[in-house]
Structure 1
Amino acid sequence: MGDRLINEGLKTIFLLLWLGANVGYWMRVFWTYEFGPQYFYIRHITGLGVSIAKACGACLNLNSMLILLPVCRNLISFFRGSCETNTLCRRSVRRQLDKNITFHKTLAYMILLLNIVHVIAHFFNFRNLYNHFRFGRCGDGPVTLSCTLRDLPDKEGGTWLNPIQFDNRGLPFGFGLILQGVIPIAGWSGVVLTLVFIIMFSSATEFIRRSYFETFWITHHLFIVYYGMILVHGTGGIIRSQSNLADHNITLCKNIPDTWAPEAQPCPYPVFVDGSAASWMWVIGPIALYILERTIRFARSCQKVQLVKVVKHPSKVIELQMKKYGFKMLSGQYIFLKCPPISHIQWHPFTLTSAPEDDFFSVHIRTVGDWTTDLWKAMGADAKTNTESADDLARVAVDGPFGTASLDVFKYQTAVCVGAGIGVTPFASILRSIWHQSMSPDYELKLKKVYFFWICPDTNAFEWFSELLDSLENHMIEQGKADFLNYNIYLTRGWNNKQAKNIYLQEEEEVDAITGLRQKTNYGRPKWDDIFKVIAEENPGKSVGVFFCGPKVLSQVLHKCSNKHSSISGGAKFFYNKENF
């Protein structure tokens, strides 16, 4: 059944550590407020709600601290670079850095859950506080602990406990409760904070991000307001703690509230102090890091980018060849690209298709949406000629490069590279780099075998990439390493009856009828379970890196196959890596 620990072990450990930190911190704060003597009197009024609300608020601070870090691309790249040079930092640790966006989303779900519980708990707290102030006077009846707390005098002197200090008898109960809740700093800042988070969370769905990117971009930058509200939310000190426990012993005094007096012994009035704001200690560090991150991004985006060439490929794919002073890349890295004439705020990630050995860097972009269609036109791709001079074309800005999982392809003896459609781009860079390195007399790679799979929807998609495969294949044959590259191209659709007949007639030819390559094109979809089984049999005892760029559905299939066919007892071990932007 395979060994899931190979791919899931360290991820599970990190997840459990994070969940354990949340549970442990939640329990610690809950225990303090639920059983701490300094909070006994506020608990008497509010009940369990105050302990739950404060525990959730503490964990909100923890996760709000963490959620900024995964989107600091330069920080992630720095840690990945440190891991590259640190022998103690294994591949499995580096692979966790590639799950940064997944962790960012997981943190968002946790914040949503904590927010819901926090708000509900505080609703009950304010309802109890409002009822206590409105209906809790001692009057002519017996003196109870509740009414004594209600009638504590001298708000300025520190003896008051209930933050609600005026009545709304002329207003409906519900409106009065809401009004009392939002008047304090903690109230209105909490309302704004919650509404802002709901807007950010709801606009971050995949549909909004892909169809209305600018809506997503603008609303997600409300995080500035979110963190501003976090910083001020706790400054109101609305949940107060008792400061004179030594003079006013609650074990004794709670039973004799009718004897309380300013200087009475043994029960003088309890004195309460405002709660201290702690949120800033959690978030100030990540905020500073993020400001540094954005400063670096802005500085890089201002650097001049020279468009060397724009090449138009079939299937509405354009290749942008660029140069930028000081730009250094590795195979498999990606950049963020902006075209100011189209939009000043839209940055889009694209995998680099050039090799580090090239004197330029390039990306291949398929036209699939509004922005890429506008870029197609801005780059002159709608002209009749196939190759355009870039002198008079639209200006672009570049941020990067940034590391991805594909950087580790050279760390394995065997690699399985799977690209779907335009998802082949990271492997273009890798294969180009292999070709360049193989030209050197000192050529020696740890990587000894590459299984390359390309799943394409139509026949035109082969043309821009087949030349690279053909040259690499021929070169490896000349070097006596014909078995280095095992590539398999799958055509899932896009052929007509005439093409099918032509394919059949040329079946016995040495080269493929569509691609012109030695290895023949497969028709239909790969049977991944059988493919992984064969690869496992051919690579016993080896660590096999599986690298994928493409749709989520296929990623799930490959991930399951990697787990299923891995074995720690002498068999092949498949390490699954997926491109994440």
Structure 2
Amino acid sequence: MHKITTLPSAIPFITHNNVPILIRVSVFTFLNFLWGWNKFAYTTNYQLYGWLTIANGGLSLLMGARTNLFAHVARIPSAVLLRYHRWIGLATFVHATLHCSLIIQHYVQTNQFYTAAQAPRIPVGIAAWISLCIIAITSIPKIFRRRWFEAFYYPHFFFLVFVAGALYHANKGPEFLLPGFGLWVIDRGIRFYNNFRSSQVKSIIHYSGGVTKFNITGVAPSQPGQIAWVQIPSVSFFNWHPFTIASAPGQNETTVAIRALGSFTKKVQTVGEDDAKVAQSTAVEGGTYEAVSTEMNFSKLQIDGPYGVGHLQWGAHPVIVLVAGGIGITPGISIATHIANQAKSGLVPMPGSWHIHLLWTVKNFDHISWFEAELKNLAEIASDEAVPVTLDITIHVTSGVEEDSESVKFDGIGDIYQGRPDLIKWFENVRDARMGMDASVNLCGPAQLIRSGRIAASKASCEDILFHVEEETFEF
């Protein structure tokens, strides 16, 4: 059963999902069909879709808040929670459309539309439906959500029109909508309060391959692998984008690595360059030259977060497996650093040691520099025999390596191989080395890497070792 639930979907157009997720969405869809099935014999049947609209709408609101008590208690990761939010939101829109269109059709056919429209609750209900139409249209992934994020995000505030209209239009609206709306109000209050935190950009480092790393003091994650929403006024005042935090809990700082993959992130690559030029010019005029000071005032940056909770409790299993592609190494760095720091502090909750196995795939050799310092720090901690943690690092470079040897040592922190990894073989090697120990697995990277990682974890699992998989992906 564990092997089956770990596998990704075999259906081509939903391969980014796995079996448990497909089961949940199937049950959800079946219940909506079951409760919505009727023969449309009477006008009261049309009202059924109104009830299903506010029921699904209230549930969707529960999933939308960033500071989400429901998610923390149930340990539902942000990406999974937002996936549920989209499904339930779609069901809300479908039921609202059925309810609105059937009611209007009946009024038109019986010549009652003008009379019915005199009652305030009818135009208010239509306005609520129109607001859902705006949200649904601007949520189309390939047109808005993934290409033009702001055109997707800001129209979502039309949900306030939907909630207000539904509360006025429906008799039992408060019972369904106010619990989720109340959580959203609390979430907005917490986020507003956090805007007054004293945070400062400590350093900005640019790397080849289009990666800029920000180190921010005054904000720290509470657990590994959390996300934060970042706004850089010098780039855009209205753009807030989510990024995985690469630092670990207990460091009183947050590290965010941003790669140039879109218009916003490409502009980020020039942030801090003018500050560095001013600092260097000042140093030369004074007769000395030093690296850019960490005390200088960098460009202002706003951070909303950290948010999110992992499905797995990192450290609960003795084996930690981290598989990453490109900039997807950020949650892996956070998790590995957290485990290493816990081991160094003597906080191992089990007899024996933690064993970290990290597999990182990058396109070019120089991309390793993105987190070279963090990897060296992890290797240094693991090299201490008194610290109950071991570390195995494998890096695959898909291009840009000229050495003919099968494996290249990279400054003592791991082995480098040219070409794409054989994930099944790598997972089997981990299994053979750690028999009798269950493993927590984090996958983050391109969709194909995550899919291959799930297949490999499923095949490598056996009675003596189970690979419990959690994948990192932004579902916005």
TM-score, structure 1 normalization: 0.68
Secondary structure of the structure 1 residue equivalent to 2:411: coil
Matched, 1:220 2:125: no
Secondary structure of the structure 2 residue equivalent to 1:343: coil
CA contact (8 A) 2:212 2:268 kept: no
2:50 pairs with 46, 57, 68, which one? 57
Aligned to 1:155: none
The residue type equivalent to 1:552 in the other structure is A
In structure 2, distance between residues paired with 1:437 and 1:5: 30
- Residues 413-451 of structure 1, C-alpha deviation per residue, up to 9 Å, x if partnerless? 2121112111111222223334434444x3535562222
In structure 1, distance between residues paired with 2:203 and 2:77: 36
| Per-residue deviation, 1:560 | 3.8
The residue type equivalent to 2:397 in the other structure is L
1:417 pairs with 319, 322, 325, which one? 322
1:330 pairs with 216, 223, 233, which one? 223
1:529 pairs with 421, 424, 427, which one? 424
| Per-residue deviation, 1:452 | 0.9
| Per-residue deviation, 1:566 | 3.8
- Residues 114-144 of structure 1, C-alpha deviation per residue, up to 9 Å, x if partnerless? 23432443244224433xxxxxxxxxxxxxx
Residues 1-400 of structure 1 mapped to structure 2, 5 A cutoff: 3-5=3-5, 15=25, 18=28, 22=32, 25-26=35-36, 48=41, 50-76=43-69, 79-80=71-72, 82=73, 94-95=75-76, 99-130=80-111, 164=112, 179=114, 182-207=117-142, 208-234=144-170, 277-324=171-218, 327=220, 329-380=222-273, 383=276, 387=292, 389=294, 391-400=296-305
Secondary structure of the structure 2 residue equivalent to 1:355: coil
- Residues 284-334 of structure 1, C-alpha deviation per residue, up to 9 Å, x if partnerless? 222222111111111102323122222233323222222227x56333222
Aligned to 2:379: 473
In structure 1, distance between residues paired with 2:406 and 2:26: 56
From the superposition, tell whether residues 367 and 9 of structure 1 become closer, same or farther in structure 2 (CA, over 3 Å): closer
Secondary structure of the structure 1 residue equivalent to 2:296: coil
Secondary structure of the structure 1 residue equivalent to 2:174: helix
The residue type equivalent to 1:553 in the other structure is Q
In structure 2, distance between residues paired with 1:477 and 1:330: 24
From the superposition, tell whether residues 62 and 366 of structure 1 become closer, same or farther in structure 2 (CA, over 3 Å): same
From the superposition, tell whether residues 359 and 107 of structure 1 become closer, same or farther in structure 2 (CA, over 3 Å): closer
Aligned to 1:429: 334
CA contact (8 A) 1:302 1:397 kept: no
| Per-residue deviation, 1:389 | 4.3
| Per-residue deviation, 1:363 | 1.6
CA contact (8 A) 2:227 2:305 kept: yes
| Per-residue deviation, 1:181 | 6.4
From the superposition, tell whether residues 416 and 75 of structure 1 become closer, same or farther in structure 2 (CA, over 3 Å): same
Aligned to 2:287: none
| Per-residue deviation, 1:55 | 1.6
The residue type equivalent to 1:555 in the other structure is I
Matched, 1:484 2:390: yes
The residue type equivalent to 2:88 in the other structure is L
The residue type equivalent to 1:411 in the other structure is A
Aligned to 1:254: none
- Residues 175-196 of structure 1, C-alpha deviation per residue, up to 9 Å, x if partnerless? xx6x566554344234323332
Aligned to 1:552: 447
Aligned to 1:444: 348
From the superposition, tell whether residues 535 and 114 of structure 1 become closer, same or farther in structure 2 (CA, over 3 Å): farther
| Per-residue deviation, 1:537 | 4.2
Structure 2: state its 5+ residue gaps.
8-17, 281-290
In structure 2, distance between residues paired with 1:337 and 1:407: 25
From the superposition, tell whether residues 540 and 120 of structure 1 become closer, same or farther in structure 2 (CA, over 3 Å): farther
In structure 2, distance between residues paired with 1:109 and 1:508: 50
| Per-residue deviation, 1:575 | 1.8
The residue type equivalent to 1:56 in the other structure is Y
| Per-residue deviation, 1:57 | 1.3
Secondary structure of the structure 2 residue equivalent to 1:361: strand
From the superposition, tell whether residues 51 and 536 of structure 1 become closer, same or farther in structure 2 (CA, over 3 Å): farther
CA contact (8 A) 2:116 2:122 kept: yes
Secondary structure of the structure 1 residue equivalent to 2:68: helix
In structure 1, distance between residues paired with 2:341 and 2:435: 29
The residue type equivalent to 1:288 in the other structure is G
In structure 1, distance between residues paired with 2:105 and 2:252: 66
In structure 1, distance between residues paired with 2:75 and 2:430: 24
| Per-residue deviation, 1:25 | 4.8
| Aligned-residue CA RMSD (Å) | 3.3
Aligned to 1:39: none
The residue type equivalent to 1:296 in the other structure is I
| Per-residue deviation, 1:469 | 2.4
| Per-residue deviation, 1:24 | 6.1
The residue type equivalent to 1:444 in the other structure is V
CA contact (8 A) 1:307 1:391 kept: no
Aligned to 2:11: none
In structure 1, distance between residues paired with 2:415 and 2:472: 27
CA contact (8 A) 2:225 2:334 kept: yes
Number of residue equivalences? 449
- Residues 375-398 of structure 1, C-alpha deviation per residue, up to 9 Å, x if partnerless? 333323795677464633222222
TM-score, structure 2 normalization: 0.82
From the superposition, tell whether residues 376 and 541 of structure 1 become closer, same or farther in structure 2 (CA, over 3 Å): same
From the superposition, tell whether residues 72 and 388 of structure 1 become closer, same or farther in structure 2 (CA, over 3 Å): same
Secondary structure of the structure 2 residue equivalent to 1:199: helix
| Per-residue deviation, 1:67 | 0.7
| Per-residue deviation, 1:374 | 3.2
From the superposition, tell whether residues 188 and 317 of structure 1 become closer, same or farther in structure 2 (CA, over 3 Å): same
CA contact (8 A) 1:466 1:517 kept: no
Secondary structure of the structure 2 residue equivalent to 1:204: coil
From the superposition, tell whether residues 390 and 209 of structure 1 become closer, same or farther in structure 2 (CA, over 3 Å): farther
The residue type equivalent to 2:176 in the other structure is W
Secondary structure of the structure 1 residue equivalent to 2:180: helix
| Per-residue deviation, 1:60 | 0.8
The residue type equivalent to 1:117 in the other structure is L
| Per-residue deviation, 1:541 | 5.0
From the superposition, tell whether residues 469 and 64 of structure 1 become closer, same or farther in structure 2 (CA, over 3 Å): same
State the structure with more CA Rg: 1
| Per-residue deviation, 1:480 | 7.7
The residue type equivalent to 1:66 in the other structure is L
Higher mean C-alpha displacement, 306-315 vs 403-412: 403-412
The residue type equivalent to 1:424 in the other structure is I
